[in-house]
Amino acid sequence: MKDELLGKLDRESRPAATWIEPAHEPVLRAEPIGFLRSGKRSKFSLPHQPVGDADERNVVELLPGRQFEQALLDLQGFDRIWLVWWFHRHGNWKPQVLPPRGRKQKRGVFATRSPHRPNPIGITPVRLVRVEKRRLVVGEVDLVDGTPILDIKPYVPALDAFPESKAGWVDELERAQDDAPRFQVSVSALAEAQAAFLEDGWALDVLDRAARRLAVDPSPHRTRRIRRHGSEFLIACGAWRVFFTVAGRLVEVLRMAPGYPHAYLVDPKLTRIADRHAQIAFSARWPDPPTARRRKGRSAKSPPGSSADPARATTSSMGSAARASAGRTPRPSTEKPR
């Protein structure tokens, strides 16, 4: 059997010096530690990644009698956890698959998140709501009811997130979407001062990048990294967060903030955090938590669900004048940088 398998491999293409034949065929053993419990039985009605209703609740139920209660100790306190799971309802694996988005073009399965993999293993960073003995209550999922769970790991942003990394054909797909500016972006005096601090001191063009993206579309979106933040919105730009409101076709950038909590920034073990020194210097200059500063100084402009909500804005309601005037326009503001 081993010879048969090896015979299928192209020995010529392997550098002889680096090929070591295993003495035994590796035996890999994995068994479920538990199962996902949710109302979602049809895999076709699921999102392609865990996005959707923030109030959604699902349960990962671990098997009894295996000391898993102890294995879950200390998981509370992590916002997200990785579920490593088995696509138990997939068909055959395929070397190339047709992704659900974009033009019809097949992609190598290893360049996708498709279920049709030789080892049908899925990974999903789900929100952890709470731990109840050997049950985990989690948020949105892209797993069907009954999916076998193989492992659980904590999601550690400083280790697991590389937001500036290139994403090959997925980036191309995003770029191919309509990227003409449609919103006018104005910038508060505070945000201008913060942008200047980052540009002059650290050669970081965070505000320019955020403004370009907001001029195209400020509506909440996972891959554009825009989400609601109370009555405001925020866009993640590399290791930074940029807070803004929207009124009609006008986006007002209010302020910026480091993306990492102070405890992470000053942890000597986490020296690889992007822009770490700039973030520490920024926090020293503007120490207040963004939400507190916002509540003290200014009133919200765009309550969620109002007509000013960018999630509700449509291209058809936009005039060509607005389209033509879209772009970053600094605007005087009464707010003073501190």
Question: For residues 49 and 181, what is the distance between their CA atoms, to the nearest angstrom?
Answer: 27
CB of 147 to ligand SAM, least distance (A): 4
Q: Among the candidate windows 4-12, 101-109, 121-129, 247-255, which touches ligand SAM by CB under 6 A? A: 121-129
* Rg over CA atoms, the chain: 24
Is residue 143 part of the contact set for ligand SAM (CB under 6 A)? yes
Q: Which is nearer to ligand SAM, 87 or 286 (CB)?
A: 87
Report how far Cα 335 is from the mean position of its chain's Cα atoms. 31
Nearest to 327 by CA among 197, 223, 180, 206: 180
Contacts with 127 (C-beta within 8 Å, 6 or more apart), sequence order: 50, 79, 80, 138, 139, 140
Residues 43-62 binding ligand SAM (CB under 6 A) are: 43, 46-49
Is residue 147 part of the contact set for ligand SAM (CB under 6 A)? yes
Q: How far, CA to CA in Å, does 6 sit from each of 1, 14, 95?
A: 9, 12, 19
CB of 55 to ligand SAM, least distance (A): 20
Is residue 139 part of the contact set for ligand SAM (CB under 6 A)? no
Of these, 35, 58, 80, 87, which contacts ligand SAM (CB under 6 A)? 87
Q: Which residues pair with 240 in a beta bridge?
A: 237, 258
Question: For residues 102 and 48, what is the distance between their CA atoms, to the nearest angstrom?
Answer: 14
Is residue 124 part of the contact set for ligand SAM (CB under 6 A)? yes
Q: Which is nearer to ligand SAM, 82 or 264 (CB)?
A: 82
Of these, 33, 34, 97, 122, which contacts ligand SAM (CB under 6 A)? 122
Is residue 90 part of the contact set for ligand SAM (CB under 6 A)? yes
Single-letter code of the amino acid located at 275: D
Q: Which is nearer to ligand SAM, 145 or 288 (CB)?
A: 145
3-state SS, residue 236: strand
Q: Among the candidate windows 103-111, 136-144, 269-277, 329-337, which touches ligand SAM by CB under 6 A? A: 136-144
Report how far Cα 136 is from the mean position of its chain's Cα atoms. 21
Question: For residues 308 and 300, what is the distance between their CA atoms, to the nearest angstrom?
Answer: 11
CB of 59 to ligand SAM, least distance (A): 15
Binding site for ligand SAM (CB under 6 A): 43, 46-49, 87-90, 113-115, 122-124, 142-144, 147
